[in-house]
Amino acid sequence: MTKRTLIAFILVCTACIAFAGDVAAYVDLGFSQDGSTYVFAQYGITDKAYEGYAEIYTIDIEKNDYVDSGVFKTLPSNKTVGESGSNLYQKLFEKNISYFTQMKLKPATLQNTLYIKREAKEAGSEIVFKDFERASNGNLISYSIRLIPWYEGKNPKSKSSFFISLEKKDENGKLLYKKVIGNPEIKRSGVSEYLIDRIICDEGTNTLLFVIQKNMITENGTSVRYMVEAQKIK
């Protein structure tokens, strides 16, 4: 088992321990060759109904939004009862292989994986990490990240939102860059918690990607889904 595969396996197992319900597996398909887009997938089986599902999303990094023509889904239904999410994902990927091939996707390397969640953090708690790969002229860069959520309530119909506060500093603590990432005006239903699952960086365009874990309350129990926020860093 490669180090990359082992990390992914540990992340999935940790999520499964924390939730008895429907936990999606996350797939990093990678950045396009020109660095303009990022593609990820998630798949699984719904809790209680045992309906398989698979979803693939393309993110326009500059717009920090989904590319409509690059979203592919196999929704849970009576037709997918008992079918594994991994099989549905493979079928969905192969059905649209020409789309993915032309982008020449490259998954994030371990060197470009800047942060991986080891345990749940309280809302607003600070994530601090150093970026050794992109240090210039011996000046080590560090990032300070906070995810700030808002919840109307915590039930299947309640609304919520979040934004990410980012600060980039040099080794002396001088602030180099500050940004609010995400749109707190977007209200989502049924999300009981937002967590930063991992942070990755493209090799050449100074793009940070935040993989957000959404813990959701549904009529059938608790589920875990993912979304991505993208930001180019000056």
* CB contact at 8 A, 212 and 195: yes
- CA 31, chain centre distance (Å): 13
How far is residue 53's CA from residue 75's CA, in Å, rounded to a whole number? 5
- pLDDT at residue 15, as a whole number: 43
User: Which residue range(s) make up the domain with 142?
Assistant: 3-232
Rounded to two decimals, the pTM is 0.86
Helix (H) or strand (E) holding 61: none
| pLDDT for the residue 122 | 61
Instruction: Give the rounded distance of the alpha carbon of 211 from its chain centre.
Output: 2
The pLDDT of residue 4: 40
What's the structural domain count of the chain? 1
pLDDT at residue number 9 = 42
User: Per-residue confidence of the chain (234 residues) as pLDDT tens digits?
Assistant: 444 434 444 444 444 444 446 999 999 999 999 999 999 999 999 988 999 999 999 999 999 999 999 999 999 999 999 999 999 999 999 999 999 999 999 999 998 999 999 876 665 689 998 877 666 666 788 999 999 999 998 899 999 999 999 999 988 889 999 999 999 999 999 999 999 999 999 987 689 999 999 999 988 788 999 999 999 987
Residues 37 and 67: their CA atoms lie apart, in Å, by 9
pLDDT at 8: 42
Say how far apart CA 134 and CA 112 lie, in whole Å: 10
